[in-house]
Copies of this chain bind each other. A is one copy, B any other.
Amino acid sequence: MKLATVAHGGRRTAAVLDGDHWRALPADDLSTLLATTAPDRFAGLAGARLPGAVPVLPLPSPRKVVCCGLNYADHITEMGRELPDHPTLFAKYADTLTGPEDDLVLPKGLDVDWEAELAVVVGAELSGADRDLAERSIAGYTVANDVSVRDWQRRTLQWFQGKAWDRTTPLGPLVVTPDELDPVAGVEVICRVNGAERQRGNTRTLVFDAADLLAYVSAFTTLRPGDVVLTGTPGGVGMGMTQPVFLADGDLVETEIPGIGTLRNRFRLADPRS
């Protein structure tokens, strides 16, 4: 199944793709639907066709958004670090997320960088789960860009303040269920800036895969349906370049995972008067 939250006729609804058409699912968005209904029941709930529906932020209200850093061997090398024994984790908020075509609006003077990522959507409550249970509890996969404010990320030892700026992590456009996508076998994770490819990694090279991460996080905190785990970014970020490059006003960031879709987000400087 390909799932989304779509805008249609002035309102939002969870939806499932049926051929070329979106069909309504009985909730305002996927966060709400996952909170009440197991993903394996979604197919039987598909309602009316929604002509002209457009995917928006699929999961507007996860309680937890956990991110893994340093998880692709090539990116770890790029950052000058060694392969890890444990995943490096940090947190974002529901407020940090934004839609698949939304502008990324930030004040002037920040070092804003891109990080294309595969994101995992939790489909069941998980506490102290082993890898097998974690794997069976994946609702689906989507695309994220862990857009990072590098100067704030580096102000202190803790990355959080560079990673949790409101409406800076685009997510979507679709959530694809595990029967249709296998990141262990490998999917490509691509980032283009103004059309130039900056990142291309493959999830088969992840040090910790989706099931590893869900199990690891569930050892210390409960994950619930609709929570999101970002799996880290491959090499090619702006700060890793010989001459570091950051986003400028008007730059177009495209984040793609074939089989899921593409995020298209323009970077805009905030109006200093606003």
| Chain A interface (Cβ < 8 Å from any Cβ of B) | 63-64, 69-70, 84-91, 93-96, 127, 149, 152, 155-161, 164-166, 220-222
Contact = CB atoms under 8 A, between A and B. Distances in A.
B160 A157 contact: no
Contacts of A86: 155-156, 161
Contacts of A161: 86, 89, 220
Nearest to A165: B220
B93 A160 contact: no
Contacts of A69: 158
Contact of A221 (B64, B95, B155, B220): B95
Contacts of A90: 90-91, 158, 160
Nearest to A92: B91
26 contacts: A63-B93, A64-B93, A69-B158, A70-B156, A86-B155, A88-B157, A89-B158, A89-B160, A89-B161, A90-B90, A90-B158, A90-B160, A91-B160, A91-B164, A93-B221, A95-B221, A95-B222, A96-B221, A127-B166, A152-B220, A157-B159, A158-B159, A158-B160, A161-B220, A165-B221, A166-B222
